[in-house]
Chains A and B, each alone.
Chain A
């Protein structure tokens, strides 16, 4: 399948494409089987009274989430968001327009929860909840990467990601879950990370890395794990432990810690920064997965928690950890204070690895040989969850500047892509939000189109040959789809990969 798949042609002028109704109606992510579903507490398969239960769950969510409640009512169908989704631009399927995606749910909301829809369904576009509608939910709510680009442009900030999460939660609650995401959530609970890498294998991998780095640099850079009393606990996506190009960034973090002299450790219990609970909009899962990190931090007695290069993980860490687990500051309740007393209040909790590195650079605690990156003309792809769902540093927008400052400090040649495709307007890589699975490869290739166009432009005009990013999903997705667009898969890599290339580690021991 993958071999015959053709990417959409680059648009000569990026005009808004015409509609192709139904273009992606047949692209359906694999449905979770009974074992995967029951393993994480959902019904094994579609329950008989799915309609009643779906509506009941919807009613509950409307009472629990102001976002859903307001967003269901407020949309005026102005169409401002209609051309903002990379999946719409790449597939031309009108149901991938953010407002149309929302309307899949809104039409049912109107039918059962509003007066107008109860009495004049045709007039306000209200629909009965039928099996066809449920199937359509499954199809198209698994074609949204929850990237929030649409919410930037909506005059009321309507965030389709919130609606997708609610829809997935409803689907899970009636036994209609997605295989990829729910299987991974099962793994994180049973093994400790999304990739299913058990503790001993992780320790082996890290030992191997120490040898590799020693061979490369002559320096004893450590990759400690489960070290009681370390200053820093590093929480990083498990792909960093062995996937390419992720591992090069892990080496980068280790070198930065080494050069800073600050003691650090990984944890086998919390060997995963990713939290797919967010993708399925399930608060219980979101919390349960996050709690592993609280427990690891309490057990190891660390003073600081630092998060590696991962987009959605950073959103969860930055925006949700304090709420979910108390990792943060400013609490008044004993539950959170237990942890907040242990953590060092002089530092931001949690800290992004880029904040950590940039702070060291500013204090001139790190030295670089920038020429080591001279083979590269670098550009930076803002990852959606970092850009639109989090922050770094002390001011709004620090999440855009800090990674760029680091790149400029470690490489000589840096170029920006088209302004309409970076910072808060950045395009999703096409594989986020629980869609990074081979059964959705067609969607992933097509959804990458807007980013590939912007990359092609700077590659042709300014010779860009390296696109740095700080997200494990972006790295995996681009490695896979770049070849479809005639790029080498190694064009994508991490910011700390560049740091790793350039950092000066002092005299070999």
Chain B
């Protein structure tokens, strides 16, 4: 029961916190045109640029192949793992989720490998060690612990999957079910709920943030269309002061 509560609270904080952040990003005006050029000159072009950033990490690829490789390994792995986990929350399990199941396992391994690589860089590369705060290390350890415990559940201490699924569906339906008592499972789920809580208060905000980055999401057309935010527009026609 306590677990169901923890999980539900985690989910609420996650959704609420994230919605708050996103609303604030969206409300904050961008008074000037500042796309990093060369930038797309059409809206379709901006969508493409954003897609390349989010799906391929294009800028990171230009910057540093090691970070890019480990980063892709981790994030791609994460996506596969999330897809695999959908089976706990859908009944009947969607067809494509069923097809993706085995890839989820590889995803888990890739994720752990990628995280390990990123952490290795954080420890070994002088420049990156210099800029790292304790939370940067902890975040990687934290995700490693989630990934590691998840792989442990697959390969070492198999829990009662039927009961886990009943628990998860119960959460969604507001009909809380007991969780099978497996220490590793408890650890895995506690960490996962904590992750949900931490998400809106940490650097994990890079995920929504990238979509709001003015240097990436603006169309390069300042000469063709007058770009005005509300507070800047209010100055028009006023004599300048200062």
Contact = CB atoms under 8 A, between A and B. Distances in A.
B210 A64 contact: no
Interface in B16-37: 21, 24-25, 28-34, 36-37
Enumerate the 6 nearest inter-chain pairs by beta-carbon distance, A residue then B residue, closest first.
A74-B209, A125-B133, A153-B63, A157-B215, A288-B240, A396-B38
Interface stretch (B149-157, B167-175, B199-207): B199-207
Contacts of A64: 28-29, 31, 231
A131 interface: no
Given A74-B205, A74-B206, A153-B62, A162 B222 contact: no
B201 A79 contact: no
A157 B37 CA distance: 11
Nearest to A400: B38
Contacts of B235: 287
Contact of B59 (A63, A157, A322, A349): A157
Interface string A30-58: 00000000001100000000000000000
Interface string A401-436: 000000000000000000000001100000000000
B147 interface: no
B158 interface: no
Given A76-B206, A330-B225, A116 B59 contact: no
A88 to B, nearest CB: 9
B206 A322 contact: no
B136 to A, nearest CB: 5
Contacts, number: 243
A341 interface: no
Contacts of B121: 79
A77 interface: yes
Contacts of B228: 323, 333
Given A18-B126, A40-B242, A322-B222, A75 B206 contact: yes
Interface string B45-75: 1000000010001011011100100010000
B237 interface: yes
Interface residues of B, number: 69
Interface string B195-239: 000000111011001101111100010111111100111011100
Contact of A123 (B21, B41, B134): B134
Nearest to B70: A78
Contact of B34 (A162, A329, A397): A162
A319 B242 contact: no
A209 interface: no
Given A67-B215, A157-B210, A157-B215, 12 more contacts: A67-B214, A74-B213, A78-B128, A80-B59, A82-B127, A125-B133, A151-B215, A329-B223, A336-B226, A397-B38, A399-B37, A399-B38
A351 B118 CA distance: 46
Interface string A64-93: 111101110111111111111000000000
A122 B136 CA distance: 12
Given A154-B63, A287-B240, A326 B226 contact: yes
B100 to A, nearest CB: 26
Given A75-B206, A157-B215, A66 B240 contact: no
B216 A391 contact: no
Which of B64, B67, B126 is packed against the most chain A CB atoms within 10 Å?
B64
A394 B220 CA distance: 11
A319 to B, nearest CB: 5
Given A83-B127, A116-B202, A152-B62, A157 B38 contact: no
Contact of A322 (B31, B60, B138, B223): B223
Given A70-B209, A283-B31, A387-B37, A156 B216 contact: yes
A103 interface: yes
A284 interface: yes
Residue in A120, A162, A318, A322 whose Cβ sees the most chain B Cβ within 10 Å: A322
A115 interface: yes
A41 B201 contact: no
B108 interface: no
Contacts of A443: none
Contacts of A99: 131
Contacts of A153: 59-60, 62-64
A390 interface: yes
Contacts of A266: none
B34 A389 contact: yes
B162 interface: no
A464 to B, nearest CB: 25
A493 interface: no
Contacts of A84: 63
B237 to A, nearest CB: 5
A230 interface: no
Nearest to B220: A391
Contacts of A151: 36, 215
